[in-house]
Amino acid sequence: MAYDLEEQEQMASIKAWWKQYGNLITWVLIIALGGYAAWTGWKTYQGNQATQAGMLYEELQKAAGGKDAAKVARAAADLQDKFGRTAYAEMGALAAAKTAFDAGDLKAAKAQLEWVAKSGQHDEYKAVAKVRLAGILLDEKAYDEGLKLLAGDFPASFAAAVADRKGDILVAQNKLEEARTAYRSALEKMDENNPGRQLVQLKLDAIGGAAAKTAA
């Protein structure tokens, strides 16, 4: 009987506790399970998105290899519309820009690079787009616009490329002393084994860079 009475008291305590907190616990469990399901679903969705984007990017690369500019442009547009937050969209736009540039369509190339520069999710791809876009602006003689584009923040690994491009624009503006400074900065930031050093040095020498260094 003592055991039965003790058991009844425990049951009564449990019922009272559940009456007070049971509803709250139920909702906490629902929220926790719902959050886990949502997270799992999101990861699955992201995986599917990446897979589909990868397949579309592969099609774009094949089209680029075949110099089918129209198909490349369509694939790049699909990547941007459907998978704009993936790296594939940025890589696709950069590939489409190169294809358009090689085909002499600077307007299309510029549009692709502008999309990456403004809408890209990854700093490295945005940096590549800005440096290449500045090159097109140089061809269009939009010098101030090009320098403004290169004045923003860039990953450290792009410092040499940015300085080199600034030098090119400054030479076109006949601002030779500033161009020398830019080219020297590019050389300072460039690895000794970088094959691009020779080209930068040639450009520097062409505007009297070696003479300026001797005078210093």
Q: For 101-128, b where at least 16 C-beta lie within 10 A, e where not — what string?
A: beeeeeebbbbbbbbbbeebeeeebbbb
Per-residue model confidence (pLDDT) at position 53: 87
Q: Are 39 and 47 in contact (CB under 8 A)?
A: no
Report pLDDT digits (tens) over 78-131. Answer: 999 999 888 999 999 999 999 999 999 999 999 999 999 999 999 999 999 999
101 contacts: CB under 8 Å, gap ≥ 6: 109, 136
Could you give the residue range(s) of every CATH 1.25.40 domain in the chain? Answer: 127-210
pLDDT exceeds 50 at position 36: no
pLDDT tier for residue 215 given thresholds of 50, 70 and 90: very low
Q: Are 52 and 92 in contact (CB under 8 A)?
A: no
- Please tell me the distance from the alpha carbon of residue 38 to that of residue 90, in angstroms, as a whole number: 27
Per-residue model confidence (pLDDT) at position 211: 40
Looking at the chain, the whole-number percentage of residues with pLDDT higher than 70 is: 74
| pTM higher than the cut 0.85 | no
* DSSP 3-state of 24: helix
| Residues listed for the chain | 216
Composition of the chain by helix, strand, coil, percent to 5? 85, 0, 15
Report pLDDT digits (tens) over 48-84. Answer: 667 888 899 999 999 999 989 999 999 999 999 999 8
DSSP assignment of 179-212 equals: HHHHHHHHHHHS-TT-THHHHHHHHHHHTTHHHH
In this structure, what token pair is assigned to residue 59?
A: 């099609």
pLDDT tier for residue 137 given thresholds of 50, 70 and 90: very high
Looking at the chain, the whole-number percentage of residues with pLDDT higher than 90 is: 64
Q: In this structure, which CATH number among 3.30.390, 1.10.1060, 1.20.120, 1.25.40 belongs to the domain 127-210?
A: 1.25.40
Report the range of poorest mean pLDDT among 25-34, 102-111, 139-148: 25-34
Amino acid at 3: Y
